[in-house]
Amino acid sequence: MQDQSTEGQTMMFCHGCAKPLHVSAVACPACGAPQRRSAAAREDESEKSKVTAGVLALLLGGLGIHKFYTGAWGWGIVYVVLCWTYIPSIVALVEGIRYLVLSKDEFARKAAAMKGPFAWLW
């Protein structure tokens, strides 16, 4: 599947008959073949927002809320258990700044690559 831009519209080719069609098409109008979503459409709609993760880390990072948001619930539990030491707050401050500094594409790539409860989003 190739994407091309024609007069401001994003086009792709049908998986069944290879005719051009709009990227938002669910099925090909020519052959009726169902279409998969393009990689560009998936990147634009990432599950996790870097701004949300960064703000959660800055405001509620001492409790590990940002870790639960990004899917690293194991680290979230560690942050909750150690919140009385203020160490998670300091680490969360650094993580919040890091999340906000990352580009949107890099954050989405790293968030998608996170596997397991003890993954780091660095």
User: Measuring CA to CA, which residue among 41, 31, 50, 32 is closest to residue 103?
Assistant: 50
76, 60 contact by CB (below 8 A): no
> What confidence score (pLDDT) does residue 108 get?
85
Residues with Cβ within 8 Å of residue 98, at least 6 apart in sequence: 122
Distance of alpha carbon 30 from the chain centroid: 33
Q: Per-residue confidence of the chain (122 residues) as pLDDT tens digits?
A: 444 444 556 778 887 787 888 877 888 888 888 877 644 444 444 578 999 999 999 999 999 999 999 989 999 999 999 999 999 999 999 999 999 999 988 988 888 888 888 887 76
